[in-house]
Structure 1
Amino acid sequence: MVARTDLAELVRELSDGEGRPNASWFVFRCLSPTHEDRTPSFCVSKRSDSAKWKCFGCGVEGSGPIDVLVRFQGMSVPAAIQWLGERCGARLEDRPALSRPKPAKPVPMDRPVTESFEAAERVKFSGEYRDRLIRTRRWSNETIDMFGIEFVRIRGVLRYRFPFRANHRPVYWQDRAIADGVTPKWLGPTGTPRVPFGADLLRRRQPNDQIVLLEGVPDVVTLIELFPGAAVIGVPGAQNLNPRWMDTLKALERDVAVIADNDQAGETMRARVRDVLGDKARDVYVPAEFNDLSDWHVAELYKDHDWFRSQSSARPGDVLEQYADLRAEGGER
């Protein structure tokens, strides 16, 4: 019964799209209702002797159709076995319909990272590819080096590596494909990050500093490019907002400016932060025509790079809001 189940076909029924094939996988949007990222990252092995599946975005993984039904349809193992048996012997319209579960708050699940940070093949990070990162992101060499961004080759694919550091030691990382169209675009190790991206930057926090909480790794680098002394952390996707991190922010009793993406996942993240921090949380929006802070920076903000850096003593969220207001009114800063 399980052997007769085409895993990719089953996932196709559950997902929102057909699934894109690459050399080793069929790639779909993640089936988890708490993973709202738009980039397809849920991979089903193309090997006939393998039933492995994994989301390279949020890290959930398993093997075979029973795991899929238990994890994403909330079935018990006996119910999943019965359903698959009916699927193999009944017409599609005769068996119970599959449905995507309603979104719910993710259960905090801290899983250790077992892979080695040093295992990836390092490639000299200079010349064309460093220049490309500087040009496309409008980041300086100084900022790139500050975050320890590296250049690696993973299974033949060139990627920029962003380390998550705790006490200056890498405990997690995300690798971003350099070429467009590579799936998955972002790749991380199995396990969950112990700390948010940029956690060491909170050590520089002064008593009255505003902490900036961002969605996504690149936005943290962008904010530091504009405000080098800022206290800032980033979550690797809105769905990965760890409740433990929120409890830590609450204990600090500091104002937190929340800059999330201009999409539903970003709104969900803002709401979750407000639920925990209450009036200590302040939503800061980028203009509606941009998806996130990095998009806005590449289009406009970098042109006023020196002015932003001159505002180092101000609260970054306040400065960005004032800049956006002046922009909307057609005025000058």
Structure 2
Amino acid sequence: MLQIMLSKTSNRAAIIAILISLILYSSSIVAYSRLLNRLYLPSSLTGPESLAFDSIGGGPYTGVSDGRILKYDGPNSCFLEFAHISPDRDKTMCDGISDFSELQETCGRPMGLSFNYKTGELYIADAYYGLVKVPYDGGTATQLVANNEQGNPFGFLAGLDVDPQTGIVYFTEASSAYKIRDLHKLLNGTQDYSGRLFRYDPTTNETTLLLSDLAVAAGVAVSNNGSFVLVSEYMANRIKRFWLKGPNAYTSDIFLRLPGRPDNIKRNSANEFWVAVNYPFGSPPPPIPPVLPLGLRVNEQGLIIQAVPLVEEFSTESVSEVQESEGKLYATSLHESYANILTL
């Protein structure tokens, strides 16, 4: 029996069609979610693209539209500034700017982020500054990698994950042909296969290209044992797996095909993955087409074992990330001013 919560304004037929597709594809178990709370950003800020929790469960931390990293302060029920991307940040110019502003090229636009729990450092994929890191006590980010393997500036970085065992950082360049301010062009029918997957080793400061020719490389997550890394191709409706160890090392295959567009991927404590998926429908006004958002829990064999509809939480805005922490589910969107907390 399927249980699903639908808002009065939601497209019931479309949602049911998506869920049926998922069931036919994978015999998935569909569970409903309940909104517990919303963590609102300070006024005028948007876009908590990704979340991270530190080694003692503090946070969540998130990057926002004006180039800052914020940390949620539970006792005061608000987000406070933890770090910023630009080394010469001008608060008068940067504070409060919105997404897709040209000022973001100066102020920074943090996207994917993840902690190295052994060092306490926070690694960030910034859409304009490339790969950066922030010390355990916050402050100004240090730029680590600004250019691709050909020596050219990145188009824009999107996803990031840190191997919990080795500290190696995996990150994606969504596109080498577009900037994030051109996102509406990239997602409205453009055939762009310039996305890439990279690995950065902090012990040697070496960056290695693992995969290229990806159709908007969005999210990335390494398996718990470090045997493979997943990368989502937003415009190809699929997730690729790049093998790091074993007989298939340094080869790739298709891990999962989806009826919608996958964004960020997050590993949970059970060695599974949560994937944020957006099913497009209707006419696509810029910068993002209307979508039906879902969170999918996937095991290491690529089988969908839970689908959580997020229409109640985001209406027809896209979901950027779904992440599990301490028995709760967190869901974010690049186009909203809050993060949702849900029960499982």
Task: Please state which structure has a larger fraction of its residues in helix.
Answer: 1
Relative to the length of structure 1, the TM-score reads 0.25
Q: Which has the larger radius of gyration?
A: 1
Task: Please state which structure has a larger fraction of its residues in strand.
Answer: 2
Relative to the length of structure 2, the TM-score reads 0.25
